[in-house]
């Protein structure tokens, strides 16, 4: 079978790499891909939002399954369009993808389904949002533990966590100023305290298959300081989410959400990714994503022993309940993101990357590419903010971490940097 993976990040490299291992897969295409997918698969120069182009390619090349990586094409309705053409495609339809593309839709679904989440209010303009904050927190420097969110997709920049009244009001102005359409509605919610975990599940709308829980590292700097990023590293499994907690999340978060989506005639099929805050009152949903997490996908797929194609096909065919549960490598996996100088702010592209082969040759290491491209001589160049996801397996989280950083040491380019503490959260006292 021929597979088409849509996207160009580390997640898509991991998906293409894993699908390429299936005995039933003859060829994996990635649109548009990066330098890593050019090696492990075959790139096709179609941007992930070119729906007509992707459909045309899938038809002409007799693609048996398309797997959509990022949220943007899902929110644009790529799955609906492909299904209309009789093509098989993994991912939620546009109306179900609203769980990620609209925070208001997500919060309303959670409320209807009685899934634990932060208290929230929805506003249609900045004035009423500001008024709400002033009414509730009358003094400028008063503590105001709230989070202000733009309703729509804002490339991870639409959420501002606030501490004071002033910060909250500024956040409202920043979001409405910066994200016109995406911030037409605002959500203001209670700020939760705790540790964050990512619980991803694959569902066909009926059966829910949870994947091992992971933890991302969103802030740029060690110790979770500095500006927010797309994710500077991830590891799995995490001791934060015990087996009991996973059962609880299945029963009280995932099942009611999938049921609510079905009842509301927006049945969900694909990856349901719950971003959770583990509070002292138990886990609460911060957000849903409707696709694999990046970078969580990389360490999770490193541990998957079963054929990913079997799982994705069973999802598309609505027979996920009929397949054997997947087999997982009992070892831990840690993924360290190497980034460009300046990221998450402005950065330069086009630096040659050295040492990739040495890193990849280390035992139990896989270097997933994110923002990279090949030049005409076959040299790998930096081409984005998050450049590589250096991923390693180990008998313990510490061993996996050690191996991942050993691989990181092999790799060099001008201005390359990474966090040094990926997976240390696993060792926090609250985690043991």
Chain residues that interact with ligand GLY, rule: CB under 6 A? 216, 231, 289, 293-294, 296
Residue 297 contacts ligand AMP per CB under 6 A: no
Q: Least separation, in Å, of the C-beta of 163 and ligand AMP?
A: 11
CA distance 134 to 139: 8
Q: Nearest approach, Cβ of 157 to ligand GLY (angstroms)?
A: 12
Question: Which listed residue (189, 204, 307, 364) binds ligand AMP by CB under 6 A?
Answer: 189
Burial class (CB in 10 A: 0-12, 13-18, 19+), 165: buried
Residue 218 lies near ligand AMP (rule: CB under 6 A): yes
Stretch that binds ligand AMP, among 188-196, 329-337, 393-401, 405-413 (CB under 6 A): 188-196
Report, in Å, the least distance between residue 27 CB and ligand GLY: 27
Q: Which is nearer to ligand GLY, 204 or 294 (CB)?
A: 294
* Closest distance of CB 189 from ligand AMP, Å: 5
Distance CA 116, CA 323 (A): 30
* Binding partner at 231 among ligand GLY, ligand AMP, none, C-beta below 5 to 8 Å by kind: ligand GLY
161 part of the interface to ligand AMP, by CB under 6 A: yes
Q: Which is nearer to ligand GLY, 216 or 383 (CB)?
A: 216
354 near ligand AMP, judged by CB under 6 A: no
Q: Which of ligand GLY, ligand AMP, none has residue 189 at its interface (CB below 5 to 8 Å by kind)?
A: ligand AMP
231 binds ligand AMP (CB under 6 A): no
Q: Which does 191 bind (CB under 5 to 8 A by kind): ligand AMP, ligand GLY, none?
A: ligand AMP
Q: Is 213 in the site for ligand AMP (CB under 6 A)?
A: no
Q: Find the shortest distance in angstroms from Cβ 199 to ligand GLY.
A: 12
Q: Which of the listed partners (ligand AMP, ligand GLY, none) does 159 bind, with a CB threshold of 5 to 8 Å by partner kind?
A: ligand AMP
Q: Which of 275, 344, 384, 385 touches ligand AMP by CB under 6 A? A: 275
If one asks whether residue 274 binds ligand AMP (CB under 6 A), the answer comes out as no
Q: Which residue is nearest to ligand AMP (CB)?
A: 287
Give the number of residues in contact with ligand AMP, rule: CB under 6 A: 12
* From 10-18, 166-174, 190-198, 410-418, span contacting ligand AMP (CB under 6 A): 190-198
> What residue ranges bind ligand AMP (CB under 6 A)?
118, 147, 159, 161, 189, 191-192, 196, 218, 275, 286-287
């Amino acid at each position: 079978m021929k597979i088409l993976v849509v996207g160009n990040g580390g997640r898509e490299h991991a998906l293409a790499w894993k699908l390429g291992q299936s005995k039933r897969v003859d060829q994996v295409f990635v649109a548009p891909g990066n330098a890593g997918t050019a090696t492990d698969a075959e790139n096709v120069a179609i941007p992930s939002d070119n729906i007509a182009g992707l459909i045309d390619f899938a038809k002409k090349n007799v693609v048996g399954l398309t797997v959509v990586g990022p949220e943007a094409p899902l929110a644009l309705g790529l799955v609906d369009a492909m299904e209309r053409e009789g093509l098989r495609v993994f991912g939620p339809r546009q109306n179900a993808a609203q769980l990620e593309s609209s925070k208001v839709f997500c919060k309303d679904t959670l409320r209807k389904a009685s899934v634990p989440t932060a208290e929230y209010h929805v506003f249609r303009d900045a004035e009423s949002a500001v008024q709400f904050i002033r009414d509730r927190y009358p003094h400028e420097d008063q503590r105001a533990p709230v989070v202000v969110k733009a309703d729509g997709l804002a490339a991870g920049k639409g959420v501002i966590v606030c501490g004071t009244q002033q910060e909250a009001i500024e956040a409202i102005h920043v979001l409405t100023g910066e994200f016109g359409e995406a911030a037409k509605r605002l959500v203001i919610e209670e700020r939760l305290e705790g540790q964050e975990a990512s619980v991803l599940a694959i569902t066909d709308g009926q059966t829910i298959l949870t994947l091992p829980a992971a933890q991302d590292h969103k802030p740029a700097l060690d110790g979770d300081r500095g500006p927010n990023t797309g994710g500077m590293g991830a590891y799995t499994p995490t001791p934060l989410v015990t087996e009991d907690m996973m059962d609880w999340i299945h029963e009280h978060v995932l099942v009611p959400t999938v049921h609510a989506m079905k009842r509301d005639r927006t049945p969900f099929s694909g990856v349901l990714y719950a971003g959770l805050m583990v509070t002292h009152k138990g886990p609460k949903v911060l957000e849903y994503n409707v696709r694999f997490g990046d970078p969580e996908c990389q360490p999770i797929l490193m541990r998957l022993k079963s054929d990913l194609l079997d799982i994705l096909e069973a999802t598309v065919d609505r027979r996920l309940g009929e397949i054997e549960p997947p087999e997982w490598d009992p070892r831990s996996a840690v993924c360290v993101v190497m980034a460009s100088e300046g990221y998450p702010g402005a950065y330069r592209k086009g630096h040659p990357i050295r040492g990739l082969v040495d890193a990849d040759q280390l035992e139990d290491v896989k270097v997933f590419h994110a923002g990279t491209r090949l030049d005409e001589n076959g040299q790998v160049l930096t081409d984005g903010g998050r450049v590589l996801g250096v991923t390693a397996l180990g008998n313990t989280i510490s061993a996996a971490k050690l191996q991942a950083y050993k691989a990181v040491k092999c790799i060099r380019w001008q201005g390359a940097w990474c966090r040094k503490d990926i997976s240390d959260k696993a060792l926090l006292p609250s985690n043991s």
